[in-house]
Structure 1
């Protein structure tokens, strides 16, 4: 009788041990997955390490090239308006982005004499009952030489493009809002 009880209790003890061990492993991995903020010195070290990679070397060469300097100058020109989220007057120069671009929907604009890519992101394929895409519908009505007011929270650059990339957050034409980016759900 004792042998039968031991035979039943032993597998039970083993299973409980495995459950607890698995629980501790899950807790350890969840603790590791929380990203910690890097200090300034750590960020600088990571940047130095990246600059030694082939991508980093290519980026540094592009930055020093005339095209890279032109893009940096254009970025610096509108940095204050981006930081303060103030109006920038622009003129639509092209209804299409440079060939080979993968920025989604966007147009080319001239702001203060410099050309910029005004990117809005990928067009969603969700269509309404009338088979129109509502998100960028009014933006599709833009024409070359239209004067628009732009507000943005960010400007970026990439060696692939000869122009700074302005994120289209707000666009106004003839004192009418034709696009306003919806706030992100469930976050900042």
Structure 2
């Protein structure tokens, strides 16, 4: 069993979210692991609030995607930015599932283990292209120290050991005026 798989959704249910959808790539072993983690780590009275679904980013012709368009007021994307070639698909899924309520938000957290250069384009290019905007963004380490977000540090020569100590945290919302 993978520890932490589905953790964000499990924690959301523990703190009282009315409805939680935990999604991941639609491969049976992944979804089975998430389901087992939900069953193991949630009290039975909270499990009814949680559903586990397979979702391939930017694929909306599934029953889950069709039934849940613009349904969620909070979306958590944790460690999803390490594949730059998937940034657009991920962001389109965020827009698809994010409620149109003006208070709806997407929360993104990502480590720099694959490099800052792979993460930065998501916020700098992809987010505005799909009609989202960064409301807040910063970096934090495991001790809770915060620093401003930077698309590049040390002229692009950021020490690998040092960068792995930091994560980027961002809060996204729909743009006031949608992208063209």
- TM-score over 0.5 for the alignment? no
Shorter-chain TM band: under 0.3
TM-score by length of 2: 0.23
Structure with greater helix percent: 1
TM-score by length of 1: 0.22
